[in-house]
Amino acid sequence: MAEILKHAVPKAEVAASLDQVRETVTGVIADIRERGDAAVREYSEKFDKWSPDSFRLSAEEVEKIVASVPQQVIDDIRFVQEQVRTFARHQLDSMGEFEVETLPGVKLGQKHIPVQAAGAYIPGGRYPLTASAHMTIVTAKVAGVERVVACTPPIHGEIPAATVAAMHLAGADEIWLLGGVQAVAAMAVGTDTMEPVNLIAGPGNAYVAEAKRQLFGEIGIDLFAGPTEILVLADDRADPFVCAVDLLSQAEHGPDSPAVLITTSREVAERTIAEVERLLPGMPTRDYAEPAWRNHGQVHVVGSVDELYELADAFAFEHVEVLTVEPRLALERMTQYGALFLGEGTCVSFGDKVIGTNHVLPTRGAARYTGGLWVGKYLKTVTYQEVTDTASQTLLGRLCGRASRVELFEGHARSGDVRAARAAGDALPWNEA
């Protein structure tokens, strides 16, 4: 049995706050459907204090903004985007198209078609999350998406130049300085100035996540995502200082970001808690990290490595960092996670910022049924069929007639009958009149 040294707030409290978010988002989406650009402008003024003549940046504006970014930042953006691009290309190469002849003259095939237009939401608000531009836009372009609309909010009324540079260098076809529910709704339903997209990808706060959830079906989305999560798995060899630093690295994302430690060592658990408390007062992002740790941090002590992985899978967290003697054992033992970070030489922040795997990952238990954003999310895997052999047309036509009549689908049966009649001269009793 696990011993819990630190609890999170009850789930009921979290659910109550989500109810308010849901109600607000429903109203905003309905208003934008009805009033379009006028509503978008009002919400941008209300939430971001931002109301330019045009929310979309012109090519000249983009060029000027990119030119203002230090060269080192540009070089770093290009390097990281190449890592993301390389990994996405390997993913694309792993997805085969094929055509196979299953019977004489019966050809079945599979191909991948990119969605025509995708929306990329790059969060802003407090932090200029340039890395989200790499993850959403570069990956879409590798998949072959023709039109990528990228939205990011201003930060305290200012243009986030580095984010705009990242969006441009990633290949965005349209760059809009627009954030929040108003950005997601505009991309999804369209306005007089913005054509709608087919799919929206990218992380965001609770309101952005809820907007994507409500619009799913009308458009595609990458996945249902909530606050960033980190789960650190540690044995008795793990360094409590490293555990603490890495837990806080994700807690700073927001006051509702869960940070959890599971360890086989009570000493590691207690020392990690002490290190967190020591480090927190000096963190520049303490105003987010402290409530995240206080309300959503957890520490569990288990009796064995088996229990460690069993409990870890039950969490089904977004990020799982494995600080054990045999970190690659997690590849065999775990099945429910967004991404694994194996060994002390690897950290979740690498995945967030620089290493090349995608950082848009499932949260709130969604890892039980999906992985994260990847190149395949922007592709529609479709099939096609062709029957040219008369013997196969006869076989399948007769079989279709029998199988359809078992299900009382006479119309389907007749469609099969016609193929058998054309190929082999079968009678059509239902057509004698």
Point out the residues that are catalytic: 318-319
Angstrom distance (rounded) from CA 258 to CA 269: 16
CA atoms within 13 A on the CB side of 55: 30
Angstrom distance (rounded) from CA 59 to CA 65: 10
Angstrom distance (rounded) from CA 387 to CA 204: 48
Angstrom distance (rounded) from CA 371 to CA 414: 43
Angstrom distance (rounded) from CA 107 to CA 387: 6
State how beta strands 3-6 and 297-301 pair.
Answer: antiparallel
User: And the tokens for 420?
Assistant: 């058998």
H/E element, 384? strand 379-387
Strands (E), 173-326: 174-177, 199-201, 220-221, 230-234, 259-263, 297-301, 319-323
Coil/strand/helix, residue 121? strand
Angstrom distance (rounded) from CA 168 to CA 141: 12
- Determine contact, residues 172/145, Cβ cutoff 8 Å: no
Which residue is associated with the tokens 């054509």? 195
